[in-house]
Copies of this chain bind each other. A is one copy, B any other.
Amino acid sequence: MPSTRWLTGPQERAWRRYRRMRTLLDLQIARDLNRDSGLSETDYDVLSTLSEQPGSRWRARDLAAQLLWSTSRLAHHVGRMEQRGLVNREPTADDGRGAIISLTEQGRAVLHQAAPPHVASVRRNLIDLLTEEEVATLDTIAEKVIAKLAPSGGTTPLDPNAA
């Protein structure tokens, strides 16, 4: 066993700062979103992902995969959002196991009302603080990490029940 390669000073500083940024940024954006629209970040993710598909209709399985959620998490969360009238659930026509999640009219309206202040919050708390180069580097960094970790890369099942 080789001796541990500890982080160098700059590496340790970057790692700590990254973690602190994550905590503060998530919190602030979630608070802004909730204050402006009464939505959680997860609610917003569901609504905006749904709206990106023609007809705003997704097979539950695909929606879970897109969100990097387990199907269990999706079932719980969609159940709550259905109670609030934001989304709709119905069985699939062709596959008896399936479920189709779709936006309700109200869900669409809430999303349209939520988007502008949410984008403003993302700008205010992150994007507009950075130079163009910094945004590009952030993208590069994230791309590298995702390339290593993305489920398409193989051995990282997000769903405990998945094959």
List residues of chain A with CB under 8 Å of any chain B CB.
Answer: 4-7, 10-11, 13-15, 17-18, 20-28, 68, 115-116, 119-120, 122-123, 125-127, 129-130, 132-146, 148-150, 156, 158
Residues from chain B with Cβ under 8 Å of A141 in the complex: 21, 130, 134, 137-138
Cross-chain contact of A150 among B15, B24, B115, B120 (Cβ < 8 A): B24
Min distance, Cβ A43 to any Cβ of chain B, angstroms: 15
- How many copies of this chain does one complex carry? 2
Nearest chain B residue, comparing its CB with the CB of A140:
B134
Q: Are B4 and A145 in contact (CB under 8 A)?
A: no
Verify A4–B116 contact, CB threshold 8 A.
yes
The SS class assigned to the A binding surface is: helix
A70→B136 CA distance, assembly (Å): 34
Kindly provide the distance from the CB of A51 to the nearest chain B CB, expressed in whole angstroms: 14
Residues of B within 8 A of A10 (CB): 132, 135-136, 139
Residues of the B chain whose Cβ atoms lie less than 8 Å from the Cβ of A120: 4-5
- A142 touching B7, Cβ below 8 Å: no
Q: Are B125 and A11 in contact (CB under 8 A)?
A: no
Q: Which residues of B contact A122 (CB under 8 A)?
A: 7, 15
When A and B form their complex, which 7 residue pairs have the shortest distance between CB atoms, in order from nearest?
A17-B142, A21-B142, A14-B139, A4-B116, A24-B149, A137-B137, A21-B145
The minimal Cβ–Cβ distance linking A21 to chain B, given in whole angstroms, is 4
